[in-house]
Structure formats: structure tokens, C-alpha cells
């Protein structure tokens, strides 16, 4: 805000959760942005692309502009509650590959477990922003990712990745509901975050983490929300204006 001298000065640039901002802006029937805004903003004039890989899996895009690093899973959730990444491409990326590979890399990271946290496994995985346990034992909030791995698992990370990694995500659900129901499940489903290593749990819920779970499970089951959003005429025109193509929706 100009009232605060633009203190944060946080540009809306990819690859992170903000691609939907540009698509909605382009879709506006009366105040649409030009494609150059998208190219210079979200796509960073092409530097959004990367040839880097993790665990033999192509990263496809630079997460937050940092080459070769992997961001929190919410990067591949929030914009894609309605925006269907399957077969969605522009001149920079295949977003189906980018989202799916993001989840697969996150799963492989838990298996590799380079920081040797107790409890990380193929079944217990998923780093994203959530409540957290700090290194000094205090609690707070943190954007968990491989470069900021505090030993805390956030259930929304794996569960909201159901359309991308159905097998891995179902394995995680079984870990929660079959193996640890009494420990990690409350009245509204899985608690927001926990750490096996520190025997730590926050028996609380955070709306921004709960929010993606049901829509993404439904998208995995029926693609209902994806179909609803992608077939909206204004959205389709906005995507076409920005140079997107979708094999799933025929444009």
C-alpha cells in the first residue's frame, strides 16, 4: 500500500501460487491486461523455465525464481483449485508436468530424508506452509520446503496433491487414518501440522490449509471444479489471450 510506502514490495512473479492472478486479469471483459504484463510479470521474461531436476525428476519451472530449488507444495495447489493443469501449456512450461513433478519430488525428498528426521518416509511426506515448531521449541508459522525443512509435516501438502500423485497421496491418507488416527485426526480431519521427530502436534486447523483439500480430492475424483472453471467463457478467452493451450479443453 502507498500508505505504508510499499514496504513489502513483493512482485507477483512465478513460479509460485499467483498464476491465477494473471489469468483472472486477462479474463476481465472490461479491464483486461496485455500479454506483455504476463510475460514480464509471472514469466519473468522467460526465466521462469529451468532445466534443473531433483531425484531424476525435471523441475520444469524455477520456484520463486530460485534455480533448482523446490518450493512449498501450496505453489501447485492454490491457483490450481480451478485452473486445470492437465495438458495446459504456454510458451514457457507444461503446467501438468510442473505440478505433478513438484509433488513427486516432494515425496522423493521425504524418502531421501537428507536431514534424517525421524518419521519421514514414502508414506509420511509433504512440506508446505502451516503451523510450525521452531528450532528452539517455540511454535509459529513457516513455509516448509526442502530449503526450510524443520521436521514438520503438513497434511494438506500430500492430500491436496491427490490429482498429481494419487498413489503417494493415498499412501499418506492410510498413514494418517489407518496407522495414526488417534494421534493426528480430529473433529475436522487431519490436524494442521505435526512432527514425529519432536513428538510435536498442533491440535488446530488453519483455513488456508484446509481449503485446498476437498476441492483437490474432488478434482481427482471427477474434475468437477476444473471443468466448471475451465469452461467459463471469460476464463477461456483470458487463457487464449495469454498464449495458453489446453489439450484437455481443446484450445
In a domain, 208, yes or no: yes
Burial of residue 149, with CB atoms counted within 10 A of its CB: 0-12 exposed, 13-18 middle, 19 or more buried:
middle
State the CB neighbour count (10 A cutoff) for residue 188.
10
For residue range 73-84, what is the model confidence (pLDDT) as tens digits? Answer: 999 999 999 999
For residue range 103-162, what is the model confidence (pLDDT) as tens digits? Answer: 999 999 999 999 999 999 999 999 999 999 988 889 999 999 999 999 999 999 999 999
In a domain, 194, yes or no: yes
Number of folded domains in the chain? 1
The three three-digit cell numbers of residue 235, written as one number: 476464463
Structural element, H or E, at residue 226: helix 224-230
In a domain, 167, yes or no: yes
What's the confidence (pLDDT) of residue 4?
Answer: 87
Given a contact cutoff of 8 angstroms between Cβ atoms, the answer to whether 225 and 219 are in contact is yes
pTM over 0.85: yes
For residue range 210-220, what is the model confidence (pLDDT) as tens digits? Answer: 999 999 999 99
Specify which residues 132 forms β-bridges with: 140
For 90, half-sphere exposure in the C-beta direction (CA atoms, 13 angstrom radius) is: 23
In a domain, 14, yes or no: yes
- Helices 233-241 + 19-27 axis angle, to 10: 110
Pairing, β 185-186 against β 53-54: unpaired
In a domain, 251, yes or no: no
In a domain, 87, yes or no: yes
In a domain, 31, yes or no: yes
Q: Does position 23 have pLDDT exceeding 80, yes or no? A: yes
In a domain, 101, yes or no: yes
Q: Domain containing 121: what range?
A: 2-246
State the Cα–Cα distance between residues 99 and 97, nearest whole angstrom: 6
Share of the chain above pLDDT 70, in %: 100
What's the confidence (pLDDT) of residue 66?
Answer: 80
Could you tell me the CATH number of the domain that includes residue 26? 1.50.10.140
Q: Does position 169 have pLDDT exceeding 80, yes or no? A: yes
What's the confidence (pLDDT) of residue 1?
Answer: 77
Amino acid at each position: 500500500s502507498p500508505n505504508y510506502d510499499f514496504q513489502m514490495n513483493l512482485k507477483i512473479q512465478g513460479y509460485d501460487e499467483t498464476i491465477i492472478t494473471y489469468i483472472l486479469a486477462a479474463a476481465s471483459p472490461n479491464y483486461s491486461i496485455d500479454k506483455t504484463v504476463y510475460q514480464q510479470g509471472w514469466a519473468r521474461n522467460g526465466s521462469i523455465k529451468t532445466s534443473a531436476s531433483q531425484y531424476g525428476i525435471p523441475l520444469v519451472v524455477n520456484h520463486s525464481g530460485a534455480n533448482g530449488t523446490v518450493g512449498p507444495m501450496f505453489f501447485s495447489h492454490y491457483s490450481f483449485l480451478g485452473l486445470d493443469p492437465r495438458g495446459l501449456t504456454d510458451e514457457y512450461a507444461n503446467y501438468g508436468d510442473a505440478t505433478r513433478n513438484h509433488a513427486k519430488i516432494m515425496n522423493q525428498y521425504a524418502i531421501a530424508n537428507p536431514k534424517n528426521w525421524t518419521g519421514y518416509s514414502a508414506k509420511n511426506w509433504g512440506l508446505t506452509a502451516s503451523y510450525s515448531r521452531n528450532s528452539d521449541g517455540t511454535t509459529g508459522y513457516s513455509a516448509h520446503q526442502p530449503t526450510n525443512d524443520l521436521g514438520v509435516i503438513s497434511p494438506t501438502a500430500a492430500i491436496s496433491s491427490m490429482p498429481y500423485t494419487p498413489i503417494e497421496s493415498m499412501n499418506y491418507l492410510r498413514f494418517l487414518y489407518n496407522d495414526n488416527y488417534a494421534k493426528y485426526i480430529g473433529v475436522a480431519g487431519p490436524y494442521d501440522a505435526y512432527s514425529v521427530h519432536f513428538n510435536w502436534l498442533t491440535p488446530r486447523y488453519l483455513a488456508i490449509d484446509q481449503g485446498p483439500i476437498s476441492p483437490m480430492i474432488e478434482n481427482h475424483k471427477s474434475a468437477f471444479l476444473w471443468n466448471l472453471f475451465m469452461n467459463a467463457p471469460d476464463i477461456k478467452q483470458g487463457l487464449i489471450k495469454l498464449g495458453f493451450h489446453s489439450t484437455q479443453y481443446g484450445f
